[in-house]
Amino acid sequence: MTQTILLLNGPNLNLLGQRQPEIYGYETLEDVARIAHDAMAPGFDLRAEQSNHEGQLIDWIHEARHSACGIVMNPGAFTHTSVAILDALNAFEGPVMEVHISNVHKRESFRHHSYVSLRAEGVIAGLGVEGYAAAVRRICQIVTA
Ligand code: CA2
């Protein structure tokens, strides 16, 4: 049976490829979904969502409890602020991978702390959009191990 990986992107990531390419590159959110899709092992499929709203992201994480085997998430700025997203991820039983396009540790100090990292099996930062492919591959490995 096919297993679904949920790919979640948080606030402002809908602007990917349109602004600040020096930080986030030229690829769009559509490119991200394609890159993540291409990284999946056979027997997996991808559901890709983006929202600027914390509650919507939380609702998708709740749904994933019954529909997804793993979550790849770039929570955007909610990474650094949202205990609510951490709580939702803690209620999800499968593996979670946290992705940041930029190297958050090379940036402002408020980006150095992540609530989501308290839950994530792995954290990828600074690999650009290729980080999503690495995260998807890791979810497939963990789920099939
Ligand atoms: O590096 C990342 O992927 C971040 O999660 C991106 C967030 C930022 O708040 C995190 O600290 C690190 C911001 C996403 C904003 O995305 C934009 C993309 C293009 C143009 C403007 C914003």
Q: How far does the centroid of ligand 1 lie from the alpha carbon of residue 67, in Å?
A: 27
Q: Average pLDDT in the 20-46 region?
A: 97
Q: Say how far apart CA 32 and CA 50 lie, in whole Å.
A: 11
pTM of the predicted model as reported, rounded to 2 decimal places: 0.98
Exposed (0-12), middle (13-18) or buried (19+): which is 64, by Cβ within 10 Å? buried
Q: 1 pLDDT exceeds 90?
A: no
Q: Whose CA is nearest to atom 6 of ligand 1?
A: 76
Question: How does DSSP assign 63-116, residue by residue?
Answer: HHHHH-SEEEEE-GGGGGT-HHHHHHHHT--S-EEEEESS-GGGS-GGGS--SG
Percent of the chain topping pLDDT 90: 99
- Give residue 48's region: left, alpha or beta (phi > 0; psi -120 to 50): beta
Superfamily of domain 3-76+84-144: Dehydroquinase, class II (3.40.50.9100)
Q: Which entry of 100, 105, 112, 115 is annotated as an active-site residue?
A: 100
Using CA positions, which residue lies closest to atom 13 of ligand 1?
76
* Chain mean pLDDT for the chain: 98
What does the pLDDT average to over 68-79? 99
Residue 13 CB less than 6 A away from ligand 1? yes
Task: Establish how many alpha carbons lie within 13 A of residue 30's alpha carbon, considering only the half-sphere containing its beta carbon.
Answer: 2
**Å from CA of 44 to ligand 1 middle:** 27
Q: What percent of the chain has pLDDT over 70?
A: 100
Whether the per-residue pLDDT at 125 is higher than 90: the answer is yes
pLDDT at 43 over 90: yes
| Residue bearing the CA closest to ligand 1, atom 7 | 76
Task: State yes or no: pLDDT of 98 exceeds 90.
Answer: yes
The band of 111, judged by pLDDT with boundaries at 50, 70 and 90, is very high
**Overall average pLDDT of the 27-56 stretch:** 98
Instruction: Decide if 24 is catalytic.
Output: yes
Residue 22 pLDDT class (50, 70, 90 cuts): very high
Give me ligand 1 centre to Cα 126, in Å: 11
